[in-house]
Amino acid sequence: MAENVGTLHGPFGPAPARWLALCLASTAATGAALLLPAALGRTLDLLLAHDPATRWVLYCAALVLLIALLDACETVLGGTVDARTTAWLRRRLTAHVLAVGPRAAARFGPGDLVARLVGNAAQAGTAPTSRAALFSALAGPVGGLVTLALIDPWLAAVWLAGAPVLALLLRAFARDTRECVTRYQEAQGRIAAALSEAVGGHRTIAAAGTADRETARILRPLPELSSAGHRMWRVQGRAAGQSVAVAPLLQLGVVAVAGVLLARHRLTVGEVLAASRYAVLATGVGALVGQLASLARARAAAGRLTEVLAEPAAVHGERRLPSGPGRLELRGVTARRGGRAVLDGVDLVVPGGTTLAVVGRSGAGKSLLAALAGRLADPDAGEVLLDGVPLRELTRDELRRAIGHAFERPALLGGTLAQEIGLGLTSPSPARIREAARAAHADDFVSRLPAGYATRCADAPRSGGESQRLGLARAFAHGGRLLVLDDALSSLDTVTEARITESLVGAGTDGTRLLIAHRASTAARADAVAWLDAGRIRAVGPHEELWRMPGYRAVFAGGEGA
């Protein structure tokens, strides 16, 4: 996948018109550079012959000015193409990561995903420009060789004698550069992943006094990063040094043969001057080395982006839900993580309009079951149905309208509190936002803020429990047939949890609720409890009946069950 950067955005990038203009400007600049030695040679011959040379002097000046203008155009167009390609790649990668969902973060890690999105996308975004520049860099030597042959075939023959050596040098350089650039970018990704983990756990690190240890852990890949970086520069330096050793020999050979031809009156002085300049162009592997290095970095970065894009996104169907009470059913559901069956052949039915609490020890698979119920993940085997329709067959909009979620750590994404509560809704009314906040017992602390619901999240100091209440308010505002609460009450005090649970299961409550519970009092208020043990449903029934089982009581011993 990393072998073809064009698989990400096509060979011309997402801005083909600008890329074509860049290629034309680069080609025109190379053409002007190839015309200049011939014009200089002709001017010199006229001056030596004491003939009028004003017109050719003007030609040379015009070519120099044209080359400068075309170089400026290349710079502007190259920057524009790079920026547009990078932006396109970032939009595509971001959209795909969000479409894949939690599986993307589980496989790559948030820090590594950010490194790919920021650094690797910028490097991969230079691929169209590097490709255009490489074409221009190749056109110089090819054009130089052709013009040497036009001046005299012997000049081209001298250059061709050393061409295989240059080709081997460039091939080895491209191979070695790709290898060390890939290692360098992978080490960068590991550092970013470790840093993201440390930032997320900064309070734990501060409380444990392990900042130095965490710093060492984050920077552990640094020697590998340094080694790959030094090797990258050594490879480039060696290639440049070798080309500097070979290229002057070829240039001297061309000039020597040109001198012999001059002595035999087969060339003029101006043609010798032109041949010396064309020899420099023909052996201009320095530009090739730089462009090959840029393209190698872009290809390696594109490979890292392609790894993320290869992760399949969820596929949605075309069906809509019939009218129904929100009956949830899991049929033979098996879900694996890391090669282990976290859920193994789970069969479960939640009647419409009821509340089911799911309890179990840590690691029993409760959160994964909640994710499957709302199709935040797909099972490896089996089926999840809502009112008789498999979730896989629903359209995306129908699925998200029908199922609401609340989580242990709700993501508050930076808008105002009203916007965060109404996230995913189209123009929710202030009354609906406030009603949902009251149901989640969040209205009191929001109303005390100077700007109330217009307060931005970043300006609203809040506890973990208050953040959970905002997440619950979002779920209540969403509504839907099924509400999935994944440990969404864990940070609440006992009194608030009891009030919210009572509102969830009270008379007149619409929809079905699937509640991941970690307190016996919460399970007791549900219509039924599903006891999950080691990935299987051990028992389903009212809390009072299950409480007679010692194993079930042990789930809550010492506050367990979360």
What DSSP line would sit under 196-250, residue for residue? HHHHHTHHHHHHHT-HHHHHHHHTTTHHHHHHHHHHHHHHHHHHHHHHHHHHHHH
In whole angstroms, give the CA distance from residue 49 to residue 264: 18
With vertex at residue 160, the alpha carbon angle to CA 158 and CA 163, rounded to the nearest 5 degrees, is 125
For the cut 60, the answer to whether the pLDDT of residue 196 exceeds it is yes
Is a pLDDT exceeding 80 seen at residue 377? yes
Name the pTM for this structure. Answer: 0.73
Range name among 97-106, 168-177, 253-262, 387-396 with the lowest pLDDT average: 168-177
- Residue identified by tokens 């803020």 is 449
In this structure, are strands 536-541 and 389-390 parallel, antiparallel, or unpaired? unpaired
pLDDT digits (tens, 9 = 90+) for 52-64: 888 999 999 999 9
pLDDT tens figures, 32-41: 988 999 999 9
Cα torsion at 56, 62, 63, 66 (round to 10°)?
A: -170
Given a contact cutoff of 8 angstroms between Cβ atoms, the answer to whether 57 and 43 are in contact is yes
H-type alpha helices, 201-221:
202-208, 211-218
Distance CA 493, CA 464 (A): 11
For the chain, give the mean pLDDT.
84
Confidence class of residue 388 from pLDDT cuts 50, 70 and 90? very high
Please determine, for residue 358, whether its predicted confidence score (pLDDT) is greater than 90.
Answer: yes
**Which of 315, 290, 313 has its CA nearest to residue 391?**
315
Q: How confident is the model at residue 461 (pLDDT cuts 50, 70, 90)?
A: confident
* Token pair of 187 as six digits: 């080490």
State whether the Cα torsion 25-27-30-35 is positive or negative. negative
Contact 351, 388 (CB under 8 A): no
The crossing angle, in degrees rounded to 10, of helices 222-263 and 269-282 is 160
Spatial CB neighbours of 208, under 8 Å, sequence gap ≥ 6: none
Whole-number Å distance between alpha carbons of 30 and 70: 9
Q: Quick: pLDDT tens for 151-190.
A: 989 888 887 777 677 667 766 766 777 778 888 888 888 8
Residue 7 has pLDDT above 60, yes or no: no
- Average confidence (pLDDT) over 250-275: 87
Sheet with 528-533, strands from edge to edge, namely: 403-407, 482-486, 512-516, 355-359, 528-533, 536-541
Domains of the chain, first to last:
6-309 (1.20.1560.10), 328-559 (3.40.50.300)
pLDDT tier for residue 243 given thresholds of 50, 70 and 90:
low
Q: Among the ranges 65-69, 108-112, 176-180, 308-312, which has the highest mean pLDDT value?
A: 65-69
DSSP state of 403: E
Total Cβ atoms within 10 A of residue 168 = 11
The answer, yes or no, to whether residue 245 has pLDDT greater than 70, is no
Residue 458 near residue 350, CB atoms below 8 Å? no
At residue 445, the pLDDT reads 87
- What does the block give as tokens for 379? 């099972």
Contact (Cβ atoms closer than 8 angstroms) between residue 532 and residue 364: yes
The string of pLDDT tens digits covering residues 80-94 is 999 999 999 999 999
Burial label for 125, CB within 10 Å (0-12, 13-18, 19+), is: buried
The length of the chain, given as a count of residues:
562
DSSP 256-321: HHHHHHHHTTSS-HHHHHHHHHHHHHHT-HHHHHHHHHHHHHHHHHHHHHHHHHTSPPPP--SB-P
- Cβ-contact 526, 357 below 8 angstroms: yes
Do residues 267 and 275 touch, judged by C-beta distance below 8 A? Answer: yes
Give per-residue burial for 483-492: e unless 16+ CB within 10 Å, then b.
Answer: bbbbbbbbbb
**pLDDT at site 391:** 94
CB distance 423 to 365 below 8 Å: no
Give yes or no for a contact between 530 and 540, defined as CB atoms under 8 angstroms apart.
Answer: yes
Q: What is the pLDDT of residue 407?
A: 85
For residues 296 and 279, what is the distance between their CA atoms, to the nearest angstrom?
A: 27
Measured distance CA(108)–CA(306) in Å, rounded: 13
